Amino acid sequence: MSATPLLPRVQLTQRVRFEAAHRLVSPRLDLEQNLQVYGKCARPGGHGHNYEVEVTLRGPLDPTTGMLMGRKEFREAVERAVVEPCDHRNLNDVVSEITTGENLARIFFEWVARELPPHLEIMRLRVYETPRNVFEAYGGDPPTTP
């Protein structure tokens, strides 16, 4: 048994939306191979999605406000990090990597992290490419006390 008191973990989640086009294509594959790997998502010309990005924060409560972070401040940080650069754009022009949901989750995680106060961490970032295709990136676990 640990003598360290267990502190409740408190989380806060914000969800934003944007619309963007993309095309899944690996520069290491030819067109036929890309179509085999990515299916319709590799078709020339690209296609669009109504993306949703959900960010869950974890951190210490501000004893004065009883909040992790102000709602407006949090929303604006996520919009600045993700919506501003991506909305009504072709994601293949915005990021230099293949625009899979996996990569977008990882990239958006880094972009949002840069906009947050340093004492807060992202526990999870979800990218909803469609209601059924959901991708997640996770932050590292906080250090544990023996």
Compute the distance between CA of residue 17 and CA of residue 62 in angstroms, rounded to an integer.
28
Compute the distance between CA of residue 26 and CA of residue 95 in angstroms, rounded to an integer.
13
Tokens of 54: 């959900």
Question: Is 41 a binder of Zn ion (CB under 5 A)?
Answer: yes
- The least CB distance from residue 47 to Zn ion, in Å, is 6
Which residue in 84, 88, 97, 119 is the catalytic one?
88
Q: What is the dihedral of CA 93, 35, 50, 124, to 10 degrees?
A: -80
Is the separation of the CB atoms in 98 and 25 below 8 Å? yes
Question: Is 78 a binder of Zn ion (CB under 5 A)?
Answer: no
Which residue in 22, 49, 86, 129 is the catalytic one?
129
Q: Which is nearer to Zn ion, 41 or 137 (CB)?
A: 41
- The least CB distance from residue 71 to Zn ion, in Å, is 30
Question: Is 53 a binder of Zn ion (CB under 5 A)?
Answer: no
**Catalytic residue list contains 22:** no
Q: Which is nearer to Zn ion, 77 or 107 (CB)?
A: 107
| Positive/negative CA dihedral, 84, 89, 93, 99 | positive
Of the listed pieces 1-9, 33-41, 87-95, 114-122, which binds Zn ion according to CB under 5 A? 33-41
Compute the distance between CA of residue 48 and CA of residue 30 in angstroms, rounded to an integer.
22
**Catalytic residue list contains 88:** yes
Question: Is 98 a binder of Zn ion (CB under 5 A)?
Answer: no
Give the residues lining the site for Zn ion (CB under 5 A): 41
Residues marked as catalytic: 41, 88, 129
